[in-house]
Structure 1
Amino acid sequence: MIAVTGATGTVGGHVARLLSTDHPTRLLGRSLSRLRALVPGADVVSADFADRRSLERALDGARALFAVTANPLEPAHDANLLAAARTAGVEHVVKLSALAVTDDRADDLITNWQRENEDRIRASGLAWTMLRPRSFMSNTLSWAGSIRAHNTVVTPQPQSRNASIDPRDIAEVAVLSLTGPGHEQQEYALTGPEAISPAEQCEHLSQVLARPLRCDEIPSSVPTPRGRSTIPNPSRRPCWKAPAARALEPSRAWTSPSTSFWGARPPRTGPGPQITRIASAELPGPSPEHIERGRTCCDGTPKW
């Protein structure tokens, strides 16, 4: 049995669906109806990160755990999950972390939280695998509202080039790590195949939608909507300034050789589902021809 937390999230949902086709899979969470709708027929168990006993019951009989937590202001959640895994007899933890943990200059709240999580898992005595992705390609979906309302993409550092990765690729690495041999005590840096800036993405999206779009910069002192939702306490929001200040560093454009999926296939290129969703579902009107052009960035060369 493989247990999955965070199954209602971006990566966790992909992991749950991939695992459930060939492996006994148990989904942990507070909303059983959402989990059942995500993977019909899956083993769904109620658990709360704040309640260690509920986690122990939910993990009983699980051999491996895909661990995703979401609140850096509640480190006890991470401690509870790991302690419950040990008590329940889990042998292997695959942790969704972040590539920023390898940057000594990264000292923001999110990165420090992920470092502490990794250290806690290493000290647990369990087998572990750390997945360290760069930012997700699907984050571009957050632009849909401002494009719909103002034909504008609003983003920090429009010229920052980032080797973003498709969340489906992260999920495939997670499933390989959970089900195959040789991934214990490994740290995998995961990126997309090439770097691209928000300004370039905006230009490509403009062609997909067949209308002009403007790319405006958010000052680093203003938290993004994601920052406001993740860090609700205004006194803690300065943690977002440090990543913004580092956004133009060349390291963000670095691409990882480990994303070759060990010979299975190269990482996904092209805008993937997020650009098609922005164009065809969340915004009115582009033709199928424009959407197809967008998949190859309108010039035959995949970019996202």
Structure 2
Amino acid sequence: MILVTGATGAVGREVAALLAAAGPVRILARRPDRVTVRGDGVEVVEGAYGDRPALDRALRGVNSLFLVTNSPTEPDDEHVAEAARAAGVRHLVKLSMMAVEEPGADDFITRRQRENEEAIRESGIAWTFVRPRTFMSNTLSWAPGIRSAGVVRALYGDAPVACVDPRDVAAVAVAVLTGTGHEGRAYAVSGPEAITAREQTAQLSRVLGRPLRFEELGLDAARAALLAKYPRPVAEAFLESAERQRAGAKAAVVPTVQELTGRGARTYRTWSADHADAFAAG
């Protein structure tokens, strides 16, 4: 049995769907009503990472675990790893981030992910880290501005990033969960090309068949927008990450999707065409 966490998120949802198409899968969810993956072989266990009895129920009989955590403060990785070790889980596959392997990345979020990875290493369970670059789906945050005014507003419009389709990240994770020989390895995952926000806007314009305008946010406006949604350490981490992207630190393309799945990574144009409805005017 494989247990999937984070199944209401961009990658976990796709991992659960791919596994469910091939056989039984169990999902741990804090809000089971938000889980969209259903079927005869899908079992959903309600619970949070800090709820040890729920973790024990979810991990009973589990051989492999896909772990997604996102709290910047809670020791969720430690909680899950401890329960997984006690349950006899043999392989823990953690969704991490590519920045953890980059010496120049020292923002709050990256430091926390390094600490989370170390907690997994110290757990004694065989592990694999899947470390994606920025998700293409992050541009869904542009949808309200596109629908209402045909405008994309973002920081550093000419900063390149080899962003990746969450479906490709999920395919890599499933290959690791269901394959052999991946223990003790970390896989960086990128898209097939480095692309800027200005270029993404142009591609969305072509996909939608309507003109879109890109407006570059100033640093103060970007900080204010982030602080309206996130705690200050998280907001500042995003800004530090944007500075690294501006300097070209996120432009590298790696062939992991091809190597582990046998097909090339999807382009942003493909992703945007598949998600055009999210940007279409009502």
Q: Check whether the contact 1:137–1:271 (CA below 8 A) recurs between aligned residues.
A: no
Q: Which residue number corresponds to residue 284 of structure 1?
A: 281
Highest relative contact order (Cα 8 Å, sep 6+), 1 or 2?
2
Q: Which residue number corresponds to residue 250 of structure 1?
A: 248
Q: What RMSD in Å do the two structures reach over aligned CA positions?
A: 2.0
Deviation of residue 65 (structure 1)?
0.3
Deviation of residue 142 (structure 1)?
1.3
Identity among equivalent pairs (%): 44
- Return the letter of the residue paired with 2:238: W
Q: Which residue number corresponds to residue 239 of structure 1?
A: 237
3-state SS of 1:95 partner: strand
Distance 1:202 1:263, change over 3 A: closer
Q: Check whether the contact 2:20–2:39 (CA below 8 A) recurs between aligned residues.
A: no
Q: Check whether the contact 1:261–1:267 (CA below 8 A) recurs between aligned residues.
A: no
Q: Check whether the contact 1:220–1:244 (CA below 8 A) recurs between aligned residues.
A: no
Q: Which residue number corresponds to residue 194 of structure 2?
A: 195
Deviation of residue 236 (structure 1)?
5.1
Q: Which residue number corresponds to residue 48 of structure 2?
A: 48
3-state SS of 1:271 partner: helix
Q: Which residue number corresponds to residue 18 of structure 2?
A: 18
Does residue 66 (structure 1) correspond to residue 63 (structure 2)? The answer is no
1:202-213 matches, cutoff 5 A: 202-213=201-212
Q: Check whether the contact 2:49–2:79 (CA below 8 A) recurs between aligned residues.
A: yes
- Return the letter of the residue paired with 1:212: P
Q: Check whether the contact 1:122–1:128 (CA below 8 A) recurs between aligned residues.
A: yes
Q: Which residue number corresponds to residue 291 of structure 1?
A: none
Deviation of residue 224 (structure 1)?
7.7
Q: Which residue number corresponds to residue 148 of structure 2?
A: 149
TM-score scaled by length of structure 1 = 0.86
Does residue 216 (structure 1) correspond to residue 248 (structure 2)? The answer is no
- Return the letter of the residue paired with 1:57: R
Q: How many residues align?
A: 280
Q: Check whether the contact 1:173–1:261 (CA below 8 A) recurs between aligned residues.
A: no
Q: Check whether the contact 2:77–2:120 (CA below 8 A) recurs between aligned residues.
A: no
Deviation of residue 263 (structure 1)?
6.3
- Return the letter of the residue paired with 2:23: H
Q: Which residue number corresponds to residue 259 of structure 2?
A: 261
Distance 2:233 2:262 in 1: 45
Distance 1:63 1:103, change over 3 A: same
Deviation of residue 89 (structure 1)?
1.0
TM-score scaled by length of structure 2 = 0.92
Q: Check whether the contact 1:166–1:272 (CA below 8 A) recurs between aligned residues.
A: no
Distance 1:150 1:67, change over 3 A: same
1:217-275 deviations in whole A, cap 9, x for unaligned? 2233434867754x3x3465322221121112233110012221346111122523444
Q: Check whether the contact 2:159–2:246 (CA below 8 A) recurs between aligned residues.
A: yes
Q: Which residue number corresponds to residue 5 of structure 1?
A: 5
Does residue 123 (structure 1) correspond to residue 127 (structure 2)? The answer is no
